[in-house]
Amino acid sequence: LSSKGHRVLRTYVNADTILDDIDIECPDVYIIDYRLLGNMNGIEVAVEILNKFPSACIIFITAFELLEQEISKRDIFYDKNIDVLIKPVKLNQIQNSLINLISGTQNPNFVTL
């Protein structure tokens, strides 16, 4: 992402660490995998982020093809700026998703690319 001109603030593999640092910096977009180390998965981390920052933009990148169904079961994700990308994902897909979420041109809710 840095090669495309984006600044990556931090990277994490552990859900607990993400939530420990949630107040340190507020990125334009959170990119979250479904599978994370720690006591929570990506959906649970996203719920915590949206509880704290309701207008947060979130991109899920995952191999879990049923993630969209899991997200659609939770009211907190309704009418939010969320995108779901299913692995394998190309850099230009992430780039397009970032641009669409930041510019507000993507429909609220999630879209699979």
Q: Does domain 2-103 have CATH number 3.40.50.2300?
A: yes
Q: What per-residue confidence (pLDDT) applies to 10?
A: 86
pLDDT at 109: 43
Mapping DSSP onto H, E and C, the string for the chain reads CHHHCCCCCCCCCEHHHHHHCCCCCCCCEEEEECCCECCCCHHHHHHHHHHHCCCCEEEEEECCCCHHHHHHCCHHHCCCEEEEEECCCCHHHHHHHHHHHHHCCCCCECCEC
pLDDT at 102: 87
Question: Domains of the chain: which residue ranges?
Answer: 2-103
At position 48, the amino acid (one-letter code) is E
pLDDT in the model for residue 85: 95
Residue 63: CB atoms within 10 A of its CB come to: 12
Cα(6)–Cα(39) distance, integer angstroms: 29
- pLDDT tens sequence for the chain (113 residues): 888 888 888 888 888 888 888 888 788 899 999 999 888 999 999 999 999 999 999 999 999 888 888 898 999 999 899 999 999 999 999 999 999 998 875 544 443 33
Amino acid at 101: L
